[in-house]
Chain A
């Protein structure tokens, strides 16, 4: 049954290889493991253009944050602002313990997870930036904290995990 439902024709048929297209696409360079891309644009000039700008949204409610990040991404697409990346930072779990001291000590636990989404934008002109900020601010849902800042090395490094063995070996070498 699975053999008969195959749509590809045999070699003797004239229509053999009718759906091929991968050979037409430009060749992609093989992916390397290390990603050290750091782009910084001119900030000072007659035409004020911001470099990479990070819009960070944090909240306890994951659905809200994700939907808001999607909304911001689509808004930037509509306004033809280039979006470099849109990624999520690891979630932080907080345990809230209540210590009630009425007779027997009770500890009520609550587990809160903080989620963070980041949308990275480049190519903002300074005449347009305040309008964009205002639109995002006025459409902020409740419970979502908004933070807009420029992209720095520290932000880039915070996404990477530290490798203690590598650092030990490097320290031994030096």
Chain B
């Protein structure tokens, strides 16, 4: 006989991660340590070529001022770029450069649907889905069809919610976590005892994609904010495979 139909329904869920774009700010001890190490290195280091050149030129200038102004007639003949001029030029260039802000507008507004939010931590995609008669915040999941691998189920889940599945990269074929739950007694039949959800992880390669495809509500949240939206049991299993 064929394999007996299993009582569990299988789902494949996708945890889409956006990797942090900036490093996290240093802790107090790390900052102090870095300052101390910088000081030690500065005191131990030797002069670089540029600094030696600068010192020599300063000495030449001083000698010219003290002695007679004979050497001065030669100087305008050759156009010598002094090291001090170079330094000034470089400083001006540095002042012209403006770094991008670390805390973007989306942070100030606390707009959880934009990707520009927390640039120094992982962001995960949460979608509002309807299971049975409940509307829940979940990682996007789709039911498994017999004949396809669980990984392709997860890719399909991503494709249904985002439209494009080229820009995210799944690393391996193995799932990262599993959450199983039993249906409430009212819906339970012989064939349908409960469901198992397998989680897969994928990384967003490029940050710009047209989010017009998303029909339902979606959110990009960090690990700490997951607790606001997910149920406790679900949250426990999801937290097990999330690195921070």
Query: How far apart are the CA atoms of A148 and B11 in the complex, in Å?
Result: 31
**A108: B residues at CB distance < 8 A:** 89
Q: Is the CB of B243 within 8 A of A135?
A: yes
Cβ–Cβ contact B174 & A126, under 8 A: yes
B:163-187 near A, CB below 8 Å:
171-174
A129 at the interface (CB under 8 A from B): yes
Specify which chain B residues have a CB less than 8 angstroms from the CB of A133 in the assembled complex. Answer: 171
**A36 CA / B53 CA spacing, docked (Å):** 48
Is A5 part of the contact surface with B, judged by Cβ < 8 Å?
Answer: no
Q: Which residue of A lies closest to B200 (CB)?
A: A130
State whether A126 and B172 are in contact (beta carbons under 8 Å apart), knowing that A134-B201, A138-B19, A138-B122 are contacts in the complex. yes
Asked if A46 CB lies within 8 Å of chain B CBs, one says no
> A137-B203, A141-B23 given as contacts; is B172 within 8 A of A127 (CB)?
yes
Taking CB atoms, residues of chain A closer than 8 Å to B122 are 138
How many inter-chain residue pairs (CB < 8 Å) link A and B? 27
Q: How far is the CA of A141 from the CA of B19 in the complex (A)?
A: 13
What does DSSP make chain A's interface, helix, strand, loop or mixed?
Answer: helix
| Inter-chain contact B171/A134, CB cutoff 8 Å | yes
Interface string of B199-211 (1 = CB under 8 A from A): 0010100000000
Which of A126, A134, A142 sits near B243, CB closer than 8 Å? A134
> Chain A 129-157 against B: per-residue CB contact (8 Å), 1 yes, 0 no?
11001110110011000000000000000
Q: How far is the CA of A133 from the CA of B201 in the complex (A)?
A: 12
**Chain B interfacial residues counted at CB < 8 A:** 13
Partner of B172, one of A130, A135, A137, A138: A130
Listed residue (B20, B171, B203) with the most chain A CB atoms within 10 angstroms of its CB: B171
Question: Are B243 and A129 neighbours in the complex by a CB distance under 8 Å?
Answer: no
Q: With CB as the reference atom, state the residue of chain B lying closest to A133.
A: B171
Query: Once bound together, how far apart are the Cα atoms of A13 and B237, in whole Å?
Result: 71
Q: Are B243 and A130 neighbours in the complex by a CB distance under 8 Å?
A: no
Minimum distance in angstroms from B175 CB to a CB of chain A: 10
Give which listed residue, B22, B89, B201, contacts A130 with CB less than 8 A: B201
Contacts of A129 in B (CB 8 A): 171-172
Q: Which residue of B lies closest to A132 (CB)?
A: B171
B181 → chain A, closest Cβ, in Å?
A: 25
Write out, one digit per residue, whether chain B residues 1-40 have a CB within 8 A of any chain A CB (1) or not (0).
0000000000000000001101100000000000000000
* A135, B173: Cα distance in complex, Å: 17
Contact partner, A138, options B20, B22, B89, B173, Cβ 8 Å: B20
Q: Closest residue to A134 on the B side, CB-wise?
A: B243
Across-interface contacts of B19 in A (CB, < 8 A): 137-138
Is B174's CB under 8 angstroms from A142's CB?
no
Interface pair A130/B171, CB less than 8 Å apart: yes
| B79 nearest CB neighbor, chain A only | A104
B174 near A130 (CB under 8 angstroms)? yes
Chain A 68-101 per-residue mask, 1 if CB under 8 angstroms from chain B, else 0: 0000000000000000000000000000000000
Query: A138 — which chain B residues lie within 8 A by C-beta?
Result: 19-20, 122, 243
Q: Give the distance in Å from the alpha carbon of A47 to the alpha carbon of B171 in the complex.
A: 16
Residue of B nearest to A142 (CB): B23
Min Cβ gap A136→B in Å is: 11
How many Å lie between the Cα of A87 and that of B89 in the bound state? 39
Q: A127-B174, A134-B201 are in contact. List 14 more A-B contacts (CB 8 A).
A: A126-B172, A126-B173, A127-B172, A129-B171, A129-B172, A130-B171, A130-B174, A130-B201, A133-B171, A134-B243, A137-B203, A138-B20, A138-B122, A138-B243
Q: List 27 A-B contacts (CB under 8 A).
A: A108-B89, A126-B172, A126-B173, A126-B174, A127-B172, A127-B174, A129-B171, A129-B172, A130-B171, A130-B172, A130-B174, A130-B201, A133-B171, A134-B171, A134-B201, A134-B203, A134-B243, A135-B243, A137-B19, A137-B203, A138-B19, A138-B20, A138-B122, A138-B243, A141-B23, A142-B22, A142-B23
Which 4 residue pairs spanning A and B have beta carbons closest together? A130-B171, A130-B172, A127-B174, A133-B171
